[in-house]
Amino acid sequence: MLFLIAWIVDGFAIDSNPIDCLFQGVIAACGVSVLCSLMRVYYFTQMYSVSETDPKEKSASSINPLRAKWRSSVHFWSLTGLLSVVGPRLSSLIVLEFSLRAVSAWVSARLDAGDRDLGVLLIQSHFSLGCSITCSLYFLHQGAPHSSLSLFLAAALSWVLASWCDSLCSHVARLYSLHSKERYCGKCITLLSSGHTLLPFLMRLVILVFAVAIIASFATVYDHFLSHKEALKFWTPLTLCYTMLVVYNQEDQQRQMGVEALLHTVVLRLGALLVLMLTMGNWSDVIHVLLTFLGEGVCLLFSQDLLHFVLQDEDPNMNKYLQSTIEKKGKYK
């Protein structure tokens, strides 16, 4: 009985107060929102450039990548809630797992060969990026006397940046086709001249965020999982097995690409993480894994337009999707 009570109390143990967790979730959701908005700006400008050079693709310039306002709000606040609840223990494992997948993809597919692999990897990184931000913030603010105040200021600045990127996405979607011809808008002229560098810039920025998060994740994992020698002996074979699973998923994903393949990959790797938490974690870790399932699903659901833009040249059905999108958007003009 005492062991059961201690297990439940250990599951409820929270290292940081709920206010800090909420601010961390807001900052992480703003970071994901910035990445999504800038990726939409990049793909819209690239599609417009293709439609200008190829008359057959002229209709692609009328695609509006904007989502409905309510969908943007649902996406943002869902991520805020999920990233606020998922603790640093599981967030650190998510960061290390995604970093391992990214390195495996880089080695096997040579991601510097084209924008397609970069785009797919960035789309897959949305929820992991949010976890990396929350994990880094938790590590950096441990023991800080005024952590709530600094997190509040960081959340306010993140909100301003996310709002600016969202307004840029709206501006480009509505006026880029006109301003790029008239050449009197500074934003559109900048995108017209150097917009092709936006995706590599985002990739370097994401790598920087994950580099900081990996350091924080190693410290968190050591404190919570590897503090005893017996735990280290048990985690070594499990880590090797999980690495083999990640490599297998990466090879399988290269053979089959699309929303269904990404969902299949999410189920496999998070299912393995669930088994790992059932073995070595407590009951709160298991709940956090289930919340991670939901978070990955939300990110993939609201990133389907980006995935279609990335894969439109690979799948013949994508052209049908784009044509139907054009027809739907034309009804609202």
Rounded distance between C-alpha atoms, residue 270 and residue 276, angstroms: 9
Asked whether residue 16 is domain-assigned, the answer is: no
Main-chain phi, psi angles of 100, to 5 degrees: -65, -40
Per-residue pLDDT tens over the stretch 265-275: 777 778 778 87
Asked whether residue 314 is domain-assigned, the answer is: yes
Asked whether residue 9 is domain-assigned, the answer is: no
Asked whether residue 6 is domain-assigned, the answer is: no
How many folded domains does the chain comprise?
1
Kindly state the DSSP code that residue 62 receives in the 8-state scheme: G
* Whole-number Cα distances in Å, 196 to 116, 117, 180, 193, 220: 13, 15, 14, 8, 37
Asked whether residue 17 is domain-assigned, the answer is: no
Model confidence band, residue 194 (pLDDT cutoffs 50, 70, 90): confident
Chain centre to alpha carbon of residue 229: 34
Q: Which residues constitute the domain of residue 199?
A: 22-331
Using an 8 Å Cβ cutoff, are 253 and 265 in contact?
yes
pLDDT for position 81: 93
> Most confidently modeled of 64-68, 69-73, 150-154, 315-319?
150-154
- The reported pTM is 0.82
Kindly state the DSSP code that residue 7 receives in the 8-state scheme: H
Asked whether residue 3 is domain-assigned, the answer is: no
Asked whether residue 7 is domain-assigned, the answer is: no
Residue-by-residue DSSP string for 203-215 = HHHHHHHHHHHHH
pLDDT for position 310: 80
Asked whether residue 74 is domain-assigned, the answer is: yes
Question: Which residues touch 133 (CB under 8 Å, ≥6 apart)?
Answer: 24, 27, 28, 31, 83, 209, 213
How are the residues of the chain apportioned to helix, strand and coil, as percentages rounded to the nearest 5?
85, 0, 15
| pLDDT over threshold 50, residue 60 | no
Question: Which residues touch 259 (CB under 8 Å, ≥6 apart)?
Answer: 300, 304, 307
Per-residue pLDDT tens over the stretch 281-333: 778 888 888 899 899 988 988 888 888 878 764 444 444 444 444 344 444 33
Chain centre to alpha carbon of residue 288: 17
